Structure 1
Amino acid sequence: MSDGRAGMENQALGLAEAVQRLTPADITVKRVRWRRIFDKLPSALKTDWMLDPSSDPAAPGPGEAWPDLWIATGRATLPLSLRVRERSGRQTLVVQTQDPRWRTAAFDLVVAPAHDRTEGANVLPITGSPHRVTRAALSGGAAAFEAALSALPRPRVATLIGGRSMAFDLPEGHAADLADRIAASIADAGGSLMLTFSRRTPEAAKQVMTARLAGLPGMIWDGTGPNPYFAFLHFADHVLVTEDSANMAAEAASTGAPVHILPMIPLKPAGKFARLHADLRERGAARLFDGTLTPWTYEPLNETDRAARVVLERLGRA
């Protein structure tokens, strides 16, 4: 259950798929949104009739049972998650990912990023957030790009560029400087580039980076056609990721490829992002980008599966 945005849905779905890998399970994806006039109301005041008509029904249909497990992500799902235990007669285990920032004890389990410092007896802190990156998923996603990427000169460098957020910015000048540093490192190593932007990447930054990196061997995804994100991670010998995205950094650290953190322009103290990057450095997964592509090894993160095992313990199926 999520609001349907990819970053949100992938957290809930990633944890559900991890549970499914450990025990037979059927997964149903549901998306919910609130009518605009009610969207900003506190979660405690929201009721079902305030939902937008486009929302999937949260309750089971006639003749259907409540699920054994409810996994939800994001603010939009909180009012529904809070009532599931009561409505199901406590037959449903309610798991919320991310920090709900409100009444953590009302859920059976909260799987929260350790860098958020969420506290509570039912809180499971993990490095990063649950996600869908597995060896099998990456291999499957790579199939459509095998011809285009497998023959690229090595080291193959996946470069994941974020954008403006409350904490960071990527103005044109800084984007140009990053592009020049990336180009120099790949050229010095005789490698190739696999570049993708996020929805938050400013257009000016996207244009200047594309122009300055287009001469390298490789692929720059322009947002059209199939998304090569999983393929890029599958074929990567190194991953460069901007410091604004906790999700991309944790996903990159699940591959076993060296993760290089690209600096952005801070708009406020880095806080939770600094804590995440410190965690990844302590695990040996990530380092600040120093302009070189020196390889190293580490044990890939497997936090989503760890969370799934805890969920199964709570279900009594471990």
Structure 2
Amino acid sequence: MLKTVWAVSQRGAVGMQNQALGLAEALFAGGGFHLPEAREVSFRWSYSWLPMHPGFASLAMLAPQDQAGFRDAWPDVLITCGRKSAMLALAVKKASGGRTAIIHIQDPKASPRHWDLLVVPEHDRVRGSNVLVTHGATHRVTRLKLESGAEALRQEYQHLPSPLVAVLIGGNNRYYTLDAEWMQTFVGQLRRMVGQSGCGLLATVSRRTGEAEAAILRGGLASLPASLWDGKGPNPYFGLLGLADAIIVTCDSVSMISEACATGKPVLVARLPGKSGRFERFFANLLQRGLIQWFDGRLMQWQNGRLDDMDALAVQVRQHFGW
């Protein structure tokens, strides 16, 4: 009988949802699972400060409008990502009477023994017999998505010169700052790179990019052989990655950098003001393996290989549970 699998994350946390759904899709691709169901939920603020322990886990942590979807019918496998979702996984395990296998992605900052399986990137320090370690973030990038996405966009962007460079812009987080001053400098670097290499640009911003910063980018690209996705229509993300000959990505997102590195294309990481020990360990590992270089306004291209744990990770998950 096919197993059901839910990928659950906090509403609006696209990066977290993609990580959970990426693992669910990798399991589905190996057979034995129904098509994964992606769910986004909101949480009551009062549960944010509770210790991460099964004793405090309750479905009451969900906002009222989301509680109805978590009654009686439980999946065989629940995959979560993000701290609040880690507590929800414990609540589902309890409510399902232990029937649901719970897999959490990222370090929940609590003992791994509370979950059936943890999947963490190597720059997180948690380890244990039920902890699988990946080189980067889990993701949804596959060769098929890249190829089909590129084909769908090829005609639309055929007027742009090659090489084509995808530019992936994130935004502020608690470690790094992406402000107007930084964007002005970055746009200057992009313009210098285009002038020196003759490349074309395929740019996209994220939900975390500020409106003022997006406007600076839009203005700076207006006179260049470039395209900036305006947020309307289907997201061309996989297509941009598939078409690109190289990728520039801001340093604020382990997920975006992991996705870029999964393409096998040269990846240039744009530094933002700020610092994080976890992120710096991640960067150091990728630099040592030749998977990334720091972006300094030059287009660099090299054979850098791929960072892609997903197929092997799906096999390890199956082996852990005996599926």
Give CA deviations for 1:171-191 in whole Å, capped at 9, x if unaligned.
222211111111111221111
With structure 1 as the length reference, what TM-score do the two structures score? 0.90
Structure-to-structure mapping, 1:193-212, within 5 angstroms:
193-212=201-220
Residue from 2, 5, 15 that aligns with 2:9: 2
> What's the CA shift for 1:79?
2.7
CA distance in 2, matches of 1:270, 1:186: 31
> What's the CA shift for 1:43?
4.2
Aligned 8 A contact 2:265 2:305 in 1: no
Instruction: State the secondary structure of the residue aligned to 2:133.
Output: strand
Instruction: State the secondary structure of the residue aligned to 1:168.
Output: coil
> What's the CA shift for 1:153?
1.2
Residue from 219, 227, 234 that aligns with 2:227: 219
CA distance in 1, matches of 2:242, 2:76: 34
Q: What is the aligned partner in structure 2 of residue 32 from structure 1?
A: 41
Residue from 151, 159, 162 that aligns with 1:154: 162
With structure 2 as the length reference, what TM-score do the two structures score? 0.89
Give CA deviations for 1:129-186 in whole Å, capped at 9, x if unaligned.
1111111122333344222124421110001111211111122222111111111112
- 1:310 to 1:60, Cα distance in 2 relative to 1, 3 A: farther
Instruction: State the secondary structure of the residue aligned to 2:140.
Output: coil
CA distance in 2, matches of 1:50, 1:132: 28
Q: Which runs of 5+ in 2 are unaligned?
A: 1-7
Q: Which runs of 5+ in 1 are unaligned?
A: none
- 1:295 to 1:50, Cα distance in 2 relative to 1, 3 A: closer
CA distance in 2, matches of 1:60, 1:142: 42
Q: What is the aligned partner in structure 1 of residue 59 from structure 2?
A: 48
Aligned 8 A contact 1:96 1:109 in 2: yes
Alignment pair present for 1:285 and 2:291: yes
Q: What is the aligned partner in structure 2 of residue 58 from structure 1?
A: 70
CA distance in 2, matches of 1:40, 1:161: 31
CA distance in 2, matches of 1:42, 1:131: 28
Aligned 8 A contact 1:32 1:76 in 2: no
Q: What is the aligned partner in structure 1 of residue 3 from structure 2?
A: none
> What's the CA shift for 1:90?
4.4
Instruction: State the secondary structure of the residue aligned to 2:201.
Output: strand
Q: C-alpha root-mean-square deviation of aligned residues, in Å?
A: 2.0
CA distance in 2, matches of 1:170, 1:79: 30
Instruction: State the secondary structure of the residue aligned to 2:162.
Output: coil
CA distance in 2, matches of 1:248, 1:285: 14
Q: Percent identity between the aligned chains?
A: 38
- 1:46 to 1:255, Cα distance in 2 relative to 1, 3 A: same
Instruction: State the secondary structure of the residue aligned to 2:172.
Output: coil
Instruction: State the secondary structure of the residue aligned to 2:287.
Output: helix
- 1:169 to 1:86, Cα distance in 2 relative to 1, 3 A: closer
CA distance in 2, matches of 1:38, 1:119: 26
Structure-to-structure mapping, 1:6-25, within 5 angstroms:
6-25=14-33
- 1:31 to 1:176, Cα distance in 2 relative to 1, 3 A: closer
